[in-house]
Structure 1
Amino acid sequence: MSEVLVVGGGIIGLLTARELVDAGAEVTLIEMGETGRESSWAGGGIISPVYPWRYPDAVTALATWSQHAYPGLAEALVHETGIDPELTVSGMLVLDLEEQARAFSWAERHGHAIETVEGPHLHEIETQLGPGLTRGLLLPHIAQIRTPRLAKAVRRSVEERIALRENEEVLELLVDGARVTGVRTSTGTLEARRVVICAGAWTAKLLEQFGRTPEITPVRGQMILFYGKPGQINHITLHREQYLIPRRDGRMLFGSTLEHTGFVKTTTAEVKEALYRAAFEMFPVLKRTPIEDHWAGLRPSSPSGIPFIGAYPAVDGLFINAGHFRNGLVTGPASARLAADLALGRTPILDPAPYAVDAAR
């Protein structure tokens, strides 16, 4: 019997397992496919919510805690595994003029640096911008991380310290009276004193047996990857709900869509073309830059974007850490720490009330 069973091997599940095993718990992690291959792999890895001033304070609290934690986490992962997740302070340019008042108000309340850049100065710091883009907001301290490398590094850091079971689907949560006792899977039964559901968009399906599920639904996002040159574009750049993320090696991610297609995560030619047009309108140089890849992932949406982190009502020993929508990477370290605090009965790093499963959203 494991002390804690973590269901779901995306970045949320992996980081949660890492927090638990670092605290001395005996941990089993079970994943229906391969770890880090769903929304964690597909995400862009901006260490900030996109347009962060649009989100509730509960999301900002998780994001801010995580932003402070990421440098230490990245350094520890390099030391432990030799895998560099490429945490890079790129800064973030927001080119939507109507966002200025809300952005400065948010920055002042939460202590985030922000400045206006316009005219020649804007094109000095980002020389490839389209000529029609003349003014923006710069958040100079925003970083990014390479999501597949992060997931691989976290997995490597825990795989010798936990029981890791991949390609094994959880079919049922086992309960004795009002207490969780484990899970039934496609290969058998696993017993555990506590279970933490970190199954992303699939979380609600796992909880259907109790007749009450958190409002977590899949939202498809498609992205394209350009094969560019290092230093060609330097900042994470947002415009008209789309973003570009330049990697150290010159590759550039551009996305992404918000599509309510259920659990269908296939790509479409129409979206690929629309993303391509939007990308070279932002940066004309991309019209001459080859597209290397095009993929889709399923984000676990939740009301107001606030994730569910905490105990599941009426079932002792059952916890949830899911529903992060577009912010799983930026809120991951804080979410994992908070979930571990609550599962282990420690003093939580943040007030858990806004994330409770039965909280009004």
Structure 2
Amino acid sequence: MTAETDTDRELTMSRAMVEAVAHEMREDEEVFLMGEDVADYGGIFSSTTGLLDEFGRDRVMDVPISETGFLGAAVGAAQAGMRPIAELMFVDFFGVAMDQLYNNMAKNTYMSGGAVSVPMVLTTAVGGTYNDAAQHSQTLYGTFAHLPGMKVVVPSTAYDAKGLMHAAIRDDDPVVYMFHKRLMGLGWMPSPEGPKTPVPKDDYTIPFGEADVKREGADVTIVTLGLHVHRALEAAADLADDGVDAEVIDLRTLVPLDTERVLESVRKTGRLVVVDEDYRSFGVTGEIVARAAEGALDDLQAVERVAIPDVPIPYARPLEDEVNPGVEHIVDAVQSVR
């Protein structure tokens, strides 16, 4: 189900996410929320603000600092017929719970021959650009997309965030919902222009596997997701001043991936730039380029990748700005494929 936007109402991405979660909790008593600082604090990135007041502690639960424990509990609850939403505060923390996530959440439906399903949502904050160093600034959606059994969602706007959250909670498979801190609309971490959008009051879903062309163009295709959708749009505006007409594609989901939308654009423009806040090697940029080569090689004239180099994210602001792709990096990459 889709909906037209309400032109008189704009939400931040955090409020759009909360609105979707609240609706689903009202509609289905099996939906509940658990995680670190999701109750009294409302989520450190405002991802759960207000939910405790409406639903109480039986359905909005703060948990001990034991990611293995509470994520394992979420997997068990999902297999028992509930629909948990479990928040992993930072995606960087996934390592301590990887057995629960990859060997249980992602595999148990397959390992049981379909006897059980795992209808849970793992929400987690990704991304840097606010100087929180190597253990709190990674993106890592390529890691989850690489491991089969999980759907992977990465919204870039409030409209998309709400529709994708409705779809994630209703899905009968495990969904990893990865929101970028910089897009949430927090006072202490200002968002770029763009994430705050008109959002319908009614519920609606955005189907997984449908990328969105955020800007149409004829000269070069820029494929990206998350924060870098907005940086790519800014780069495209700068490039337009130089006579370069860039098309910007927001993948929105990595699993499933809308390969055909990418190929359609590449067949039109002949040039591809993939922009990603994950690491360069063995990641999303390489996968998109490979699929473009497999499906549109005759049309593909030039490619370029823009991503985090294979180093831990630095703490110092100048160093973090150097490794995290900025607008100027995207402009340079587009100019290099011209």
Structure with greater proportional strand content: 1
- Identify the structure with bigger relative contact order (alpha carbons < 8 Å, sequence gap 6+): 1
Fold equivalence (TM over 0.5): no
TM-score bin (small chain): under 0.3
TM-score by length of 2: 0.23
Structure with greater Cα Rg: 1
